[in-house]
Amino acid sequence: MIVLKITNSSELLAAKVGKFLESLTPDGFDQVTVEDIVIRKLIENLAAEGLRGEVAAVSGMDLDGQELVIHKQLHVRSNRPF
């Protein structure tokens, strides 16, 4: 299993859409938007290589160094097979 933690969602959106528009959106929205884009591209690339599996966006889990922290309200936001 692979865990991917995106830490610069707000900065990425600010670079793409501009600082003003980014300041109007909450950080949670930024995170979801960037995760959805990354998942879509990841699925495209993995499927093109012939891999099969699924990718899930999960809230309530955090990567802290070598530790995987599971919070009380673990939730699978989306799950996409490829």
Q: Tell me the per-residue pLDDT of 33-57, one tens digit each, with 9 for 90 and over.
A: 889 989 999 999 999 999 999 999 9
Q: How far apart are CA 47 and CA 41, in angstroms?
A: 10
Does residue 3 lie within any of the structural domains? Answer: no
What pLDDT, on the 0 to 100 scale, is given for residue 19?
A: 64
Residues 17, 37: contact at Cβ < 8 Å?
A: no
For residue 8, is pLDDT > 80? yes
Count the domains in the chain: 1
Question: In the chain, what is the greatest distance between 2 CA atoms, to the nearest angstrom?
Answer: 41
Does residue 4 lie within any of the structural domains? Answer: no
Please, what is the average pLDDT of the chain? Answer: 86
Domain that holds residue 28: 9-81
More confident residue, 45 or 11: 45
Helix (H, G, I), strand (E, B) or coil at 73: strand
More confident residue, 10 or 23: 10
Whether the CA torsion 55, 61, 64, 66 is positive or negative: it is negative
